[in-house]
């Protein structure tokens, strides 16, 4: 499907836009993760481990959605890219042998960049009743000189992951002088699952690594669920009916 086509000949338009040197860097990033996935032992294989975590969240802990939260405005469309990659690949209800699955497959991927999400839906992540695993993607160096803004941005990145992990107890809230009637409302339970993905800087190579990482996560999940992540018959049906 087209969701896997960026590093193929279909990527010619991207190469013409960014130039062959940058496209080669993108492909090098892909290749690095491809080789890691192919050769690394399972205990140290990042796509396999992350895929297994997603299986754990979805099939054992009941998570229905998965948030992707890049702390870079350049990646503001990355969650939407992953929606097609993950949901078109693993949104299946039939195993490779043609029998119906007896378990949930696929996850609903969504997200927004950085502080946009903090002031929109992070409230639900911190204090809601639904389990939402979240991937935080950040970079230690900005792509342009923006002064202290990048440090402030990454301070929020680190603070949010820590808050989701450790929360805040009633004792801690009360010790801050919070009125007793407000203490329950300000308690944060913590223990929310997050994955932190950090890189030095967002470059074509880094982007290639990120896309390849999620592609192999999708494949890992598809193998475990025994479904085919490379077709999309649900999409095809709509096309056929539209032409009738």
**Which amino acids are annotated catalytic?**
88, 119, 239
C-alpha 3/C-alpha 85 separation (Å) is 6
Q: Which of 41, 61, 94 is closest to 222 using CA atoms? A: 94
How many Cβ atoms from other residues are within 10 Å of residue 54's Cβ?
A: 25
For residue 172, what are its two tokens?
Answer: 């801690």
Quick one: CA dihedral 226, 232, 233, 235, positive or negative?
positive
- Burial class (CB within 10 angstroms; exposed 0-12, middle 13-18, buried 19+) of 158: middle
């Amino acid at each position: 499907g087209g969701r896997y086509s960026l590093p193929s000949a279909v990527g010619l338009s991207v190469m013409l836009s960014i130039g062959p040197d940058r496209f080669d860097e993108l492909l090098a990033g892909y290749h690095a993760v491809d080789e890691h996935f192919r050769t690394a032992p399972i205990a140290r294989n990042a796509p396999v481990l992350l895929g297994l975590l997603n299986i754990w969240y979805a099939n054992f802990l009941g998570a229905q959605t998965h948030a992707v939260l890049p702390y870079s405005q350049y990646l503001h469309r990355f969650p939407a890219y992953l929606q097609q990659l993950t949901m078109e690949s693993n949104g299946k209800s039939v195993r490779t042998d043609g029998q119906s699955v007896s378990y949930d497959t696929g996850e609903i991927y969504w997200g927004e960049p950085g502080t946009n999400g903090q002031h929109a839906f992070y409230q639900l992540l911190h204090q809601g009743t639904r389990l939402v695993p979240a991937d935080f993607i950040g970079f230690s160096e900005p792509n342009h000189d923006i002064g202290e803004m990048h440090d402030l941005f990454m301070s929020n990145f680190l603070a949010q992951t820590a808050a989701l992990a450790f929360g805040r107890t009633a004792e801690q809230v009360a010790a801050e002088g919070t009125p007793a009637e407000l203490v329950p409302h300000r308690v944060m339970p913590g223990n929310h699952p997050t994955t932190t993905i950090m890189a030095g800087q967002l470059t074509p190579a880094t982007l290639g690594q990120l896309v390849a990482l999620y592609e192999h996560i999708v494949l890992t999940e598809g193998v475990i669920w025994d479904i085919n992540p490379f077709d999309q018959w649900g999409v095809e049906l709509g096309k056929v009916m539209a032409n009738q």
